[in-house]
Copies of this chain bind each other. A is one copy, B any other.
Amino acid sequence: MNISQAIAASGTTSERDMANAIRFLAMDAVQTANSGHPGMPMGMADVATVLFNRFISIDPSMPDWADRDRFVLSAGHGSMLIYAIHHLVGYSDMTMDQLRNFRQWGSKTPGHPEYGHTLGVETTTGPLGQGITTAVGMALGEEMMAARFGRKLVDHFTYVIAGDGCLQEGISHEAIDLAGHLKLKKLIVLWDDNEISIDGATSLSTSMNQPMRFKAAGWDVQKVDGHDPEAVAAAIETARKSARPSLIACRTTIGKGAPTMQGSHKTHGAPLGKEEIAGAREALGWPHEPFAVPAGIKSAWESVANRGLAARKQWQERHAAARNAAAFDRTLSGELPESVFRKLAAFRKEHLEKATKVATRQASQMALEVINGATTLTIGGSADLTGSNLTQTSQTESIRPKRFKGRYVHYGIREHAMAAVMNGLALHGGFIPYGGTFLVFSDYARGGMRLSALMQQGVVYVLTHDSIGLGEDGPTHQPVEHLAMLRATPNINVYRPADIIETAECWELALRDRSTPSVLALSRQGLPMLRESGSSENLSARGGYVLHQPKGKRDVTLLATGSEVEIARKAAEQLLDLNGISAAVVSMPCWEKFAAQDQGYRDEVLGTAPRIAVEAAARMGWDRWIGPEGAFVGMDGFGASAPAAELYEHFGITAERVAGLALELTGRAGA
């Protein structure tokens, strides 16, 4: 008899009863809410019961215990599965009233599980494929922390329940390819293989041999009857011993237990109806009222928590005895040493004096060299554009299969997975991940980036080649709408620094904001240093500031970001030299931070003179800053393939054009 059989045999309550408790809580909660997804919790109740009852090590009384197993419900619509289990094992926030308030305002039981909102929810899921990919990040984080601190402190599994939807989404390919490559052996995915999706049978849209697909990616694969607890347990036992990530294909019946509807897509996303639920009570021998769980069954579930509590205490003993406990705790806290910021300030001072001229992508690498030297928390990476994004530094050795001490992830040509894996690393704890691609390919990463924002994870997106300034690669590679898209997204700070000084400042701000993801939009092309003041203040922290204040009264204010600040600065010079017009130049590296300043500061920066904004991107959003009388110089369509300087000419994003508009706005056009 192995451990899991011993556990299974020890209780008087059967796992069948424990699973039925999930089923009825799910059915009744969805019925009460009159919306939700009962089919998946019912279908996977047996698998989840075995997983939690025999294997998972969590302590509901300390949900953030560092060495807990991570459980990710990738099929997030089946949220009642996790809520029911959390209630049964005794998470303090998951009272029966919360289940009664499923999907209601202010409840701990939203439609899809939300990280930070409900105790023990490891990551927000719902957008399909995100969970399994974020779990790859968590499993990678586990290996990396273990490589740093040893298996006495770090030794946990990452379990995922994924549905057909997760495995059809493209991001799942990126996830399993990367996980198989890196041999993330402690990642175990339980696939709810119920052959049903929303439209009907999965045979409507797929003929994929999933086991073969996962084998091709280097995974171990097993197939079991998802309603046979011993088979499920044996498969999990085997998977835990594997040297590779594991897929367990669990053949299940969706809505298992619904007498007339089980096996049908009709159980997927709507209440079953009172009659069907009454029938289920009869069929499964569950005479209990809605939201009532017999004490014996509740107590069987609580033994899961008791086992976890004991494991947690044992771990705390190991932790107390570990020489590296303090370092472990410090790393896990994610707190940056103050020296990072001190050294960044010194870096700024040095380059302010030198007036260093570099592309902001290169400035970013120079700043990273400082940052990565001052902390080991930062984990770099790129979606196969390392030499273009300039994201690797002398300290960040590449991570390779089974070699996890490194600090640089070759994410491959997988922007979407990069975003979600970075989320997983951040959620695991112990890391501040940053990753690079071209700004235009934030399109591919959108799904994961939105979750960074929603989950308040301070990951950093290093998005280079941020405009037509990338030149010859042409319109497919030239972002136009992407700054607007990212600025419109709640809880993302979009930085577009103008020179090496602002780049270092923006990196500092990105590192300080641990609950807001940051985008650094960086130039491919070289840029001069523009900062005029010798002050050590981080001016980018205000989001926008007067970079150049003319002598005397302002006639016009030129607003710009990134590579276009140079153009605005040149226009100001021309206006003064040729026309005697005083133009202020305002650099706006971060709209979000500028919008957060008080009205007085903003009014002072923006001034009362006519305003012209210059940004090699879509106008969307600029009207807020330039007002109805203002002008905008930027893109009103897609880019083109040509050397950068010619593109700026052809699209009219030039100092001459800005100066000409300034003459018009100040009524001096004919002068």
Contact present for A112 and B473 (CB under 8 Å): yes
The one of B107, B212, B410, B440 that contacts A204, using a Cβ cutoff of 8 Å: B410
CB-defined contacts of A198 to chain B, threshold 8 Å: 384-388
The one of B412, B441, B638 that contacts A197, using a Cβ cutoff of 8 Å: B412
CB-defined contacts of A124 to chain B, threshold 8 Å: 476
Q: Does A206 contact B (CB under 8 A)?
A: yes
CB-defined contacts of A638 to chain B, threshold 8 Å: 453-454, 490-491
Q: How far is the CA of A206 from the CA of B365 in the complex (A)?
A: 25
Q: Does A411 contact B (CB under 8 A)?
A: yes
Q: Does A251 contact B (CB under 8 A)?
A: no
CB-defined contacts of A650 to chain B, threshold 8 Å: 105
CB-defined contacts of A619 to chain B, threshold 8 Å: 624
The segment from A213-221, A298-306, A543-551 found at the interface with B is A213-221
Contact present for B488 and A475 (CB under 8 Å): no
CB-defined contacts of A165 to chain B, threshold 8 Å: 384, 413
Q: Does A395 contact B (CB under 8 A)?
A: no
Contact present for A637 and B206 (CB under 8 Å): no
Contact present for A441 and B33 (CB under 8 Å): no
Contact present for A476 and B206 (CB under 8 Å): no
Interface code A96-116, partner B: CB below 8 Å = 1, 0 otherwise? 000000011111001110100
CB-defined contacts of A623 to chain B, threshold 8 Å: 621, 623-624
User: For residue A627, which residue of chain B has the nearest CB?
Assistant: B628
The one of B451, B472, B637 that contacts A111, using a Cβ cutoff of 8 Å: B472
CB-defined contacts of A385 to chain B, threshold 8 Å: 198-199
Contact present for B488 and A205 (CB under 8 Å): no
User: For residue A487, which residue of chain B has the nearest CB?
Assistant: B620
The one of B76, B106, B447 that contacts A443, using a Cβ cutoff of 8 Å: B447
Q: Does A234 contact B (CB under 8 A)?
A: no
Question: In chain A between 438 and 494, which residues have their CB closer than 8 angstroms to a CB of chain B?
Answer: 440-441, 443-444, 446-447, 450-451, 453-454, 471-477, 480-481, 484-485, 487-491
Main secondary structure of the interface of A (DSSP, over half): loop
Q: How far is the CA of A491 from the CA of B104 in the complex (A)?
A: 39
Q: How far is the CA of A450 from the CA of B637 in the complex (A)?
A: 12
User: For residue A76, which residue of chain B has the nearest CB?
Assistant: B476
Contact present for B484 and A169 (CB under 8 Å): no
The segment from A44-52, A173-181, A319-327 found at the interface with B is A173-181
User: For residue A203, which residue of chain B has the nearest CB?
Assistant: B181
Interface code A631-644, partner B: CB below 8 Å = 1, 0 otherwise? 00001111011110
Contact A126 B169, CB 8 Å, known A205-B411, A209-B216: no
Contact present for B444 and A443 (CB under 8 Å): no
Contact A181 B208, CB 8 Å, known A447-B444, A490-B636: yes
CB-defined contacts of A475 to chain B, threshold 8 Å: 110, 114, 454
The one of B125, B382, B485 that contacts A481, using a Cβ cutoff of 8 Å: B485
Q: How far is the CA of A209 from the CA of B164 in the complex (A)?
A: 22
A152 CB to nearest chain B CB (Å): 30
Contact present for A177 and B168 (CB under 8 Å): yes
CB-defined contacts of A4 to chain B, threshold 8 Å: none
CB-defined contacts of A356 to chain B, threshold 8 Å: none
CB-defined contacts of A414 to chain B, threshold 8 Å: 168-170, 205
Q: How far is the CA of A410 from the CA of B207 in the complex (A)?
A: 13
CB-defined contacts of A454 to chain B, threshold 8 Å: 475-476, 638
Q: Does A172 contact B (CB under 8 A)?
A: yes
CB-defined contacts of A174 to chain B, threshold 8 Å: 168-170
CB-defined contacts of A387 to chain B, threshold 8 Å: 198-199
CB-defined contacts of A208 to chain B, threshold 8 Å: 177, 180-181, 216-218
Contact present for A170 and B168 (CB under 8 Å): no
A193 CB to nearest chain B CB (Å): 14
Q: Does A186 contact B (CB under 8 A)?
A: no
Q: How far is the CA of A440 from the CA of B490 in the complex (A)?
A: 14
User: For residue A621, which residue of chain B has the nearest CB?
Assistant: B620
User: For residue A205, which residue of chain B has the nearest CB?
Assistant: B412
Q: Does A13 contact B (CB under 8 A)?
A: no
Contact present for A618 and B488 (CB under 8 Å): yes
Q: Can you list 10 contacts pairing A with B, beta carbon distance less than 8 Å?
A: A104-B641, A126-B477, A168-B177, A169-B414, A180-B208, A197-B384, A198-B388, A207-B401, A443-B446, A490-B635
Q: What 5 A-B pairs are tightest by C-beta distance, nearest first?
A: A170-B170, A110-B641, A173-B173, A205-B412, A126-B476
Chain A interface residues toward B at CB < 8 A: 33, 35-36, 76, 103-107, 110-112, 114, 124-129, 164-165, 168-174, 177-178, 180-181, 197-199, 204-210, 212-213, 215-218, 382, 384-388, 398, 400-401, 410-414, 416-417, 440-441, 443-444, 446-447, 450-451, 453-454, 471-477, 480-481, 484-485, 487-491, 618-621, 623-624, 627-628, 635-638, 640-643, 646-647, 650
